[in-house]
A and B are shown apart, each in its own frame.
Chain A
Amino acid sequence: MKGLHGIIFSFEYHNNLRELTAHRMPASVPFAGRYRIIDFILSSMVNAGVTDVGVVLHGNYQSLLDHLESGKDWDLSRTHGGLRLLPPFSYQHSGVTRQFRGKMEALAGVRSYLEEIRQSHVVLADSDLVINIPLKDVYQAHLASGADITAVCTSNLCGPEDATWFHLGEDGRVNEALFDLRNPAGCHRSLEIYILSKQLLLDLVDECISRDEVSFRSGVLLAKANTLNIQSYVWDGYAAQIRSVKEYYDRSMELLDPSIRREVFHPKRPIYTKERNDASTYVDPSGTCCNSLVADGCTIEGTVENSILFHGVSVARGAEVKNCILMPEVTVHRDAVIQHVIADKRVEILESRTLMGHENYPMAVGKDSKI
């Protein structure tokens, strides 16, 4: 069967998301008022007509399971295909089962799943990427170019420290892949979305494992840029690799800009997420709310400015919330003042407390804390 099969890698490796990933993986960090980060790439796949998606789990995946459930909110709860959750402990080596160390090892652990893929091609993606990309176009470009692998990358150099970098030739071919680059000027940054045929993926998995090469980056991109035809697909629209609190804060706040919001929430490519049953948000006469993104189920009786409110947030009379991100069910009590704060789920800011972060160092408050 022609078409794309999706595989999304979630992972719990070293990042700077601090409190935000204390109870969850980057994939299920709340983002943009009503989503989890994984919703964006998952919706991009669904909107490109992908019907079968495997999500490779890792680390503390309870919160991700709660979110994805059967996949029904992405229309992926299917009799044939649909969402498949792939456990992290299936990699067996010398009789020992343990968590995988890299993408190739993860895929080797679920090799029988790979063999059963019904589609001719596979799109691999990371789960810490916020993007709304027409993957159909990327797939078309892949087929048209005849490349072995098509890699989505951006010319925007501001990204996470551990990015993968590409030197592109004039024909758009990836001549060299690098990482840990001190000065990436002239390079393109990989967004870690790759399209390749199912057969090539199986061959690469087998080859990497036989050489004890656990990672896709070093085993395929770095090692094979010369022998494989790796083509680039340059995407300069909104794309955020969320790997630090600062990145999380900055890329969230960008959503208050209407032009960026139009890119992320494209009317023809909706972002799906787990539906919740909240009533509409109520703004009291004593409250004011401006330049803010507000999910349903909130009660606003205080002042809210330049902020992002997830569902069920309540801001009491006299409270002041400025430049903040308040995750689901956060309560800000009377006369509390908070600025540049990221408050995780169910955080409570008690009466008359003052909490100030700074633009350069937003203050993250861990889940369920009471201040």
Chain B
Amino acid sequence: MKKECIAMLLAGGQGSRLYVLTSDVAKPAVPFGGKYRIIDFPLSNCANSGIDTVGVLTQYKPLELNSYIGSGQPWDLDRMSGGVHILPPYMQEGEKGSWYKGTANAIYQNIGFVDMYDPDYVVILSGDHIYKMNYGKMVEAHKAAGAACTISVLEVPWDEAPRFGIMAVDGQDNITEFQEKPKQPKSNLASMGIYVFTWKKLRQYLIDDENTPGSSNDFGKNIIPAMLNAGEKLLAYRFDGYWKDVGTLESLWDANMDMLSRGDLDLLESSWPIYARLPAEAPAFIGKAALVEHSVVTQGCEIGGTVLNSVLSHGARIEEGAEVHYSVLMPGVTVKKGAVVKYAIVGENCSVEEGATVGGDPADSDPDKWGITVLGPGTAVEAGETVAPNTMLNRNHKEVSR
């Protein structure tokens, strides 16, 4: 059945810069903000933008992500026609077919899927950004300008520009040049990794790119420069809301803290809801001796101790006499009596036993050695043990270096 616009969500990356947090799951399945996983943001944005057909391209450790997405019902993406589809690499005629070699190759290998819906426009999304955005408006801008490709951009401080893919534009916001992590940026408009393509155009560029020897089959490195060289109309679409790439441990922690301060990223604001698949749990219980300040708590939490400036996902248990400061606790974490967790990201189902210390205050540490402490999912910190700041442990309790 024909659709005007469908979305393709690139969710196959390993997310190696999240280290132990993605040792068993793909990056988009990493929990965020108490109730969510990263992928809830692009999926909910699609649902809220009126896009009812989404292909999710998976490759790295997809099992948890697949079962999380399921029928797509929490995002209203269980549809008679369209809906959400998981697209892993598959064999092709004559034993062709391969792993996805790059972002563009992933779409190339699924040209058949896109063609089933015969769309005019395709939105390309990634599964590692936290933001609320109406893709519908971006598609409208793309249509109005008659562009071949529209790239969503964010103004970043000039000194940070060298970390991003930078778009130089003319007076009508037409992209004149693309610089990947430039030393001398020509603009401060950073690509957010969100593209709208006119499908007929993209389809041809994907085929050409596949036939170009030595191409890394990547949107940023190959497709966009090829389109620019060919003189296609590329439009920059300015976005001014909250957007964060949570591809690193620090940025993941930062984004959680941004959510707590409820500035640009207010998840309690209900006009653009973010949906999630959730387990059936009782409301949170905050005990008699508990102290909770500037923190979020989620259903299934039992809090007896002190929780300051922290994000608690469902099923967290903070016993009386335990303390959690400036930390992000993923689902099912237990912190026992007398244990202290500071400036840490604690993976799913970790336990911090009595009297243990995880992480520490930057004020109490050597600034060169301080950093966020990270416990991989399922890690057990023994009673009385100390896990120093800037340390990372995997589930076998082995230290992992960054």
Partner of A283, one of B34, B276, B279, B292: B292
* B282, A282: Cβ atoms closer than 8 Å: no
* A283, B297: Cβ atoms closer than 8 Å: yes
* B294, A285: Cβ atoms closer than 8 Å: yes
Name the B residues within 8 Å of A278 (CB-CB): 268, 270
Partner of A277, one of B274, B281, B282, B295: B274
Distance in angstroms from A61 CB to nearest chain B CB is 24
B64 at the interface (CB under 8 A from A): no
A272 at the interface (CB under 8 A from B): yes
Closest A residue to B307 by beta carbon equals A283
Partner of A72, one of B73, B286, B312: B73
* B268, A294: Cβ atoms closer than 8 Å: no
How many chain B residues sit at the interface, stated as a range, is: 35 or more
Closest A residue to B313 by beta carbon equals A280
Per-residue interface assignment for chain B, residues 284 to 302, with 1 indicating a CB less than 8 Å from any chain A CB and 0 otherwise = 1111111111111111000
Per-residue interface assignment for chain B, residues 347 to 390, with 1 indicating a CB less than 8 Å from any chain A CB and 0 otherwise = 00000000000000000000000000000000000000000000
Distance in angstroms from B327 CB to nearest chain A CB is 14
* B285, A283: Cβ atoms closer than 8 Å: no
* A290, B290: Cβ atoms closer than 8 Å: yes
Distance in angstroms from A40 CB to nearest chain B CB is 12
* B286, A279: Cβ atoms closer than 8 Å: no
Cα–Cα distance between A291 and B273 once the two chains are bound (Å): 29
Cα–Cα distance between A225 and B311 once the two chains are bound (Å): 57
Name the A residues within 8 Å of B288 (CB-CB): 290-291
B35 at the interface (CB under 8 A from A): yes
* B278, A32: Cβ atoms closer than 8 Å: no
Of listed A34, A264, A277, A278, residue having the most chain B CB within 10 A: A277
* A282, B280: Cβ atoms closer than 8 Å: no
B262 at the interface (CB under 8 A from A): yes
Closest B residue to A310 by beta carbon equals B283
Partner of B268, one of A72, A282, A293: A282
Contacts A270-B280, A291-B286, A295-B283; is A279 near B296 (CB within 8 Å)?
yes
- Chain B residues 23 to 40 lying within 8 A of chain A, measured CB to CB, are 33-35
B275 at the interface (CB under 8 A from A): yes
B74 at the interface (CB under 8 A from A): yes
Name the B residues within 8 Å of A283 (CB-CB): 292-297
Name the A residues within 8 Å of B74 (CB-CB): 275
Name the B residues within 8 Å of A256 (CB-CB): 285
A219 at the interface (CB under 8 A from B): no
* B285, A277: Cβ atoms closer than 8 Å: no
Closest B residue to A264 by beta carbon equals B282
A26 at the interface (CB under 8 A from B): no
Contacts A72-B73, A270-B280, A284-B294; is A279 near B35 (CB within 8 Å)?
yes
A271 at the interface (CB under 8 A from B): yes
B267 at the interface (CB under 8 A from A): yes
Cα–Cα distance between A256 and B287 once the two chains are bound (Å): 9
* A271, B276: Cβ atoms closer than 8 Å: no
* Total number of residue pairs linking A and B with CB closer than 8 Å: 104
Per-residue interface assignment for chain A, residues 282 to 307, with 1 indicating a CB less than 8 Å from any chain B CB and 0 otherwise = 11110111111111110100000000
Name the B residues within 8 Å of A197 (CB-CB): none
Of listed A258, A279, A282, A293, residue having the most chain B CB within 10 A: A279
A109 at the interface (CB under 8 A from B): no
* A296, B298: Cβ atoms closer than 8 Å: yes
A362 at the interface (CB under 8 A from B): no
Contacts A277-B273, A282-B268; is A296 near B299 (CB within 8 Å)?
yes
Partner of B283, one of A34, A272, A289: A34
Cα–Cα distance between A270 and B278 once the two chains are bound (Å): 12
A238 at the interface (CB under 8 A from B): no
Name the A residues within 8 Å of B282 (CB-CB): 32-34, 261, 264-265, 271, 293
* A292, B262: Cβ atoms closer than 8 Å: no
Name the A residues within 8 Å of B260 (CB-CB): 282
* A279, B294: Cβ atoms closer than 8 Å: no
A281 at the interface (CB under 8 A from B): yes
Name the B residues within 8 Å of A299 (CB-CB): 268
Name the B residues within 8 Å of A291 (CB-CB): 286-288
Cα–Cα distance between A33 and B298 once the two chains are bound (Å): 12
Contacts A289-B292, A293-B285; is A281 near B297 (CB within 8 Å)?
yes
Cα–Cα distance between A280 and B314 once the two chains are bound (Å): 9
Partner of A292, one of B274, B285, B295: B285
Per-residue interface assignment for chain A, residues 256 to 276, with 1 indicating a CB less than 8 Å from any chain B CB and 0 otherwise = 101001001100001111010
Per-residue interface assignment for chain A, residues 316 to 359, with 1 indicating a CB less than 8 Å from any chain B CB and 0 otherwise = 00000000000000000000000000000000000000000000
Name the B residues within 8 Å of A287 (CB-CB): 293
Cα–Cα distance between A244 and B285 once the two chains are bound (Å): 25
Contacts A290-B287, A291-B286, A297-B268; is A281 near B298 (CB within 8 Å)?
yes
* B33, A279: Cβ atoms closer than 8 Å: yes
Closest B residue to A72 by beta carbon equals B73
Contacts A289-B292, A290-B288, A295-B299; is A280 near B311 (CB within 8 Å)?
yes
Closest B residue to A39 by beta carbon equals B280
Distance in angstroms from A199 CB to nearest chain B CB is 35
Distance in angstroms from A66 CB to nearest chain B CB is 17
Name the A residues within 8 Å of B276 (CB-CB): 277
* B34, A290: Cβ atoms closer than 8 Å: no
Name the A residues within 8 Å of B278 (CB-CB): 275
Distance in angstroms from B316 CB to nearest chain A CB is 10
Cα–Cα distance between A295 and B270 once the two chains are bound (Å): 16
* B287, A294: Cβ atoms closer than 8 Å: no
* A279, B292: Cβ atoms closer than 8 Å: no
Per-residue interface assignment for chain A, residues 122 to 146, with 1 indicating a CB less than 8 Å from any chain B CB and 0 otherwise = 0000000000000000000000000
Per-residue interface assignment for chain B, residues 91 to 116, with 1 indicating a CB less than 8 Å from any chain A CB and 0 otherwise = 00000000000000000000000000
Selected A-B contacts with CB under 8 Å, 29 pairs: A32-B283, A33-B283, A34-B282, A256-B285, A261-B285, A273-B280, A275-B74, A278-B270, A279-B34, A279-B296, A280-B267, A281-B284, A281-B296, A281-B297, A283-B293, A284-B294, A285-B294, A289-B286, A289-B292, A290-B287, A290-B290, A291-B286, A293-B284, A293-B285, A295-B299, A296-B35, A296-B284, A296-B298, A308-B283
- Beyond the given A261-B282, A278-B270, A280-B298, please list 15 additional residue pairs across the A-B interface where CB-CB is below 8 A: A34-B299, A72-B73, A270-B280, A271-B280, A272-B280, A277-B276, A280-B34, A282-B268, A283-B292, A283-B295, A285-B293, A289-B286, A290-B287, A296-B35, A296-B298
| Nearest 3 CB-CB pairings of A with B | A280-B34, A33-B283, A279-B267
